[in-house]
C-alpha cells in the first residue's frame, strides 16, 4: 500500500480529497494535516510515501514544505493540489520534482489519473533493478517514440504494457519453476485479481502453460513460462 498524507488547510477540500482517495485501490491515508507545521509532525513520526499538497496555507506555504522535503533528502513524493495557477509557482514546483500538479477545481477523473499514474511509476521503479530506455521513455518520461508501431495485436482492454513488464519480470525470476497467481501477486504487490487477468492473457497467447492441481482446498492453477514463445511476448512489451 502507498501511504498518503493530505496537507490542506480547507477542511471541506481535505474531506473531498480523502473521499476521492478512498475510491482508489492500493492507497492508504495516514492522516490529514491542516498546516505545514502539522505536516512536519506527521513526517517526523510516520512513514509517508506521497503527499497531496496545497500551496496556499496559513503560516508557511506548501512550496516551503516541498523545499524542506527536498533539502532534507526525504524519500517522499509530492502531488500538488492547489488553486495556484501562476507559471512561476508551477515552474518552482516542477524544479523541486513534483510528480503531478492539479489545479483546483478538478474532476475525479483527473485525480484518479494522477494517482494511478503515480502508482504505476512507483511500482515499476521499486520492482526493477535496471530499466530499459523504452520503458523509461514510455512510463516515466512519457515520451512518444518515433519508431514504427510494434507488430501484434494490442493488449486487451484494462491491461497496460508497464504493468505487463512488471509481471513478466516477476515470471522471469521464477525461471523454469512453476508458479501460481498468488506467487506473482505477492512478488509484485499487485492485486490477485489484476494478476489473474495478466496471466490469462499470457496463457491466451501461449506464453504460459497452465496445469491444475487439486488438494484439500480449491483447485490451484500453476503456470510455467514457455521460453520458445518469447518472440511473441516481445511484440506486446
Give the SS3 label for residue 237: coil
CATH topology of domain 2-127: Rossmann fold (3.40.50)
Residue whose entry in the numeric block shows the C-alpha cell 535496471: 130
- Distance CA(201)–CA(155), nearest Å, equals 8
Same fold, 2-127 and 130-237: no
How would you write the pLDDT of the chain (237 residues) with one tens digit per residue?
A: 899 999 999 999 999 999 999 988 889 999 999 999 999 999 999 999 999 999 999 889 999 999 999 999 999 999 999 888 889 889 989 888 899 999 988 888 889 889 988 888 887 777 767 777 776 676 656 554 444 444 446 888 888 877 888 888 889 888 889 999 999 988 887 888 889 999 999 999 999 999 988 766 678 899 999 888 877 888 777
The pLDDT assigned to 149 comes to 43
> Does the domain made of 130-237 have the CATH classification 1.10.10.10?
yes
**What are the angstrom distances between the C-alpha of 37 and each of 43, 48, 58, 192?**
10, 16, 10, 39
Q: Where are the domains of the chain?
A: 2-127, 130-237
Residues 69, 80 contacting (CB under 8 angstroms) = no
pTM for the full model?
Answer: 0.60
The strands making up 50-53's β-sheet, listed across from edge to edge, are 27-33, 2-7, 50-53, 77-82, 100-103
Amino acid at each position: 500500500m502507498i501511504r498518503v498524507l493530505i496537507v490542506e488547510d480547507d477542511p471541506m477540500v481535505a474531506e473531498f480529497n480523502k473521499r476521492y482517495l478512498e475510491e482508489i485501490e492500493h492507497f492508504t491515508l495516514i492522516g490529514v494535516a491542516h498546516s505545514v507545521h502539522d505536516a512536519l509532525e506527521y513526517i517526523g513520526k510516520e512513514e509517508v510515501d506521497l503527499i497531496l499538497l496545497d500551496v496556499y496555507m496559513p503560516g508557511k506555504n506548501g512550496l516551503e514544505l516541498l523545499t524542506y522535503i527536498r533539502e532534507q533528502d526525504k524519500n517522499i513524493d509530492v502531488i500538488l493540489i492547489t488553486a495556484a495557477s501562476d507559471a512561476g509557482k508551477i515552474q518552482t514546483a516542477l524544479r523541486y520534482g513534483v510528480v503531478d500538479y492539479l489545479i483546483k477545481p478538478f474532476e475525479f477523473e483527473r485525480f484518479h489519473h494522477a494517482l494511478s499514474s503515480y502508482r504505476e511509476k512507483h511500482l515499476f521503479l521499486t520492482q526493477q533493478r535496471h530499466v530499459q530506455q523504452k520503458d523509461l521513455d514510455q512510463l516515466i518520461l512519457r515520451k512518444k517514440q518515433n519508431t514504427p508501431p510494434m507488430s501484434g495485436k494490442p493488449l486487451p482492454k484494462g491491461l497496460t504494457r508497464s504493468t505487463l513488464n512488471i509481471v513478466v519480470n516477476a515470471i522471469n525470476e521464477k525461471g523454469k519453476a512453476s508458479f501460481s497467481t498468488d506467487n506473482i501477486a505477492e512478488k509484485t504487490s499487485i492485486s490477485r485479481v489484476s494478476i489473474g487477468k495478466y496471466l490469462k492473457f499470457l496463457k491466451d497467447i501461449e506464453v504460459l502453460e497452465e496445469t491444475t492441481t487439486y488438494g484439500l482446498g480449491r483447485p490451484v492453477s500453476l503456470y510455467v513460462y514457455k521460453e520458445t514463445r518469447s518472440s511473441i511476448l516481445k511484440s506486446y512489451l
